[in-house]
Structure 1
């Protein structure tokens, strides 16, 4: 029998060889933990559709952030759930609003160990659940919303946020917020643009997590799932407007977009492994249909392999522990 000169299996023959020739690596520092903090809670409240994830009180949030820092996770992204909502999301830029208070607390607690990040969007704070201010006809008013975003940005920067996560998908949001920050002297505040954020079906558990008031959908401002080139265009535009980092969201259903964005821009590219992705793996694992740790690890590596420099994932702390074990 004649064998070919190339025997690819030689590179797979042992764990040591596989580690040595591995093309894609995942580190704890490349993981960001999304966390929810709810006004008025005295203890964490479980989120039914996201087993293991909770709405935090301020005290439990501090503990979770300290745990993430100890695990070597790179950052924590905060989402606030206010007690009172209104049409313009007034609690979003209130210095004593839950998100800004939590930001101050975490910067004081772990600000030297973690990049403390804040979600900059109105959907958690409005009584209609949309990401912006509504016109009388019920359509989101892009330019009026930018003014609210600028106020949010300044409130979050004053609270000490290291990085603002612009997730609202309004036209011109990066340029408008960058100008507002510069005018007030916040020249070092990072902007993460959720550049390619798709209006897909994977956000359901998140809406439970933030007690969303949304009726209808967000298809007039989030991207249409069939469109890949449009996602790249959004990312390039956001970089031109001053974004330091761009994001693709969701992650696994849009790996092609993630790879295309990585090729198109020269800033860091992140991806958000969203609540629906989390819930699917947890549900399948709970039923014994898949290996939980294997599926989580494979999904995270796939996102890195497609081009993500960092991944927002609800498994950040747990996965960081596994990675330390492997080392």
Structure 2
């Protein structure tokens, strides 16, 4: 079995280990989607990870899911990411930008725009806003022309990511955001070429992946999924068939990696590993789980065929997580009250473990 601390060749880049910092929303950008000046230090502190995947970044204003989410759709945002990527590279790290379009996970009070989605079906539940929580609204069903516009938004954001110094991009197709809204049959009730059959419901995901790969190179493109995941009111009635169809369509593209959360059964996850021909990142957790991922989870998944392991919340409170895992040093517990609070507290003030 490979060790978590072995180096790994991911496409054209060399990773110093198999530890991935998972994408985690921190809502510390400006109201206009510009990452804060402290983001460079935050990511650089954690750059001993083999790969960092950034927090979710909106590829368009239409795609903004929550307040203070960073974007990559204008020149000011692009320029603000350059010091971040440079800080990571200066200490030997690698970083991909996660492109996250909220789709129906959004609200007019957040970005002044009516959310768009696969179908005009509102999610059950509420969304965070600076003034409290708001009930989800019914989104506008996207026309085919609007679908193409949002594919182009992903492409433009990917190009900006490379221009800003990111090593690649991860397309967010998990956790109930726009791409999974096309995949899930309770949120996609279309009767055209983007709805109905598995082949039709995976079409948007495949078109986004294809267009972004053609724009920046497939070896710079990863894709994240949460097969069978329920977050944000998803209900995929046949995840085995759906993701089998999706992986079959994505394999020929030669993407940098597939990144999955452990939201499916062991049997389906094993089937995904067998079917997927490229590198596999696994985050052994599901959204909303109270359990944090540790080394035992990583070793279990490396033994099952994962190539890289993504750690989330422990990376918040342990900027030196790789060393702590390698040397058996106790892990600091994160302050959950500061996950989304803004400011430096709970963001850049966690300390590395003392050295002998």
Cα distance in 1 for residues equivalent to 2:222 and 2:300 = 22
1:133-179 per-residue CA deviation (whole Å, 9 max, x = no partner) reads 44794335543321221121122121121121011433311111122
For the structure 1 residues 101 and 259, does the alpha-carbon distance in structure 2 shift closer, same or farther, using more than 3 Å as the test? farther
Shift of 1:243: 1.5
Shift of 1:121: 2.2
RMSD, matched Cα: 3.7
In structure 1, what is the equivalent of residue 295 of structure 2? 297
Cα distance in 2 for residues equivalent to 1:253 and 1:102 = 37
In structure 2, what is the equivalent of residue 139 of structure 1? 141
Local SS of the residue matching 2:53: strand
Cα distance in 1 for residues equivalent to 2:276 and 2:301 = 17
Equivalent residue for 2:308, pick from 291, 310, 316: 310
Give matches, 1:96-115, under 5 Å.
96-97=76-77, 100-101=78-79, 103-111=81-89, 113-115=92-94
In structure 2, what is the equivalent of residue 94 of structure 1? 74
For the structure 1 residues 91 and 66, does the alpha-carbon distance in structure 2 shift closer, same or farther, using more than 3 Å as the test? closer
More helix by share: 1
Return the index of the structure with the highest Cα Rg: 1
Local SS of the residue matching 1:243: coil
Local SS of the residue matching 1:281: coil
Give matches, 1:165-184, under 5 Å.
165-168=170-173, 169=179, 170-171=204-205, 172-181=207-216
Give matches, 1:1-327, under 5 Å.
23=1, 25-27=3-5, 29-33=17-21, 34-36=23-25, 38-40=28-30, 58-69=36-47, 72-80=48-56, 86-87=61-62, 89=64, 91-97=71-77, 100-101=78-79, 103-111=81-89, 113-123=92-102, 127=107, 133-134=116-117, 137=120, 138-140=140-142, 142-168=147-173, 169=179, 170-171=204-205, 172-181=207-216, 187=217, 190-194=220-224, 196-198=225-227, 200-201=229-230, 203=231, 217=233, 224=236, 226-248=238-260, 250-251=261-262, 253-274=264-285, 276=287, 279-281=289-291, 296-314=294-312, 315-316=314-315, 317=319, 319-326=321-328
Q: Say if 2:61 and 2:73, in contact at 8 Å, map to a contact too.
A: no
Which aligned segments of 4 or more residues in structure 1 are displaced greater than 6 angstroms? none
Cα distance in 1 for residues equivalent to 2:36 and 2:71 = 17
Tell me the number of residue pairs that the alignment of Structure 1 and Structure 2 aligns. Answer: 247
Unaligned stretches of 5+ residues in structure 1: 1-22, 42-55, 182-186, 204-215, 283-294
Q: Say if 2:24 and 2:55, in contact at 8 Å, map to a contact too.
A: yes
Cα distance in 2 for residues equivalent to 1:26 and 1:310 = 8
TM-score (norm 2): 0.58
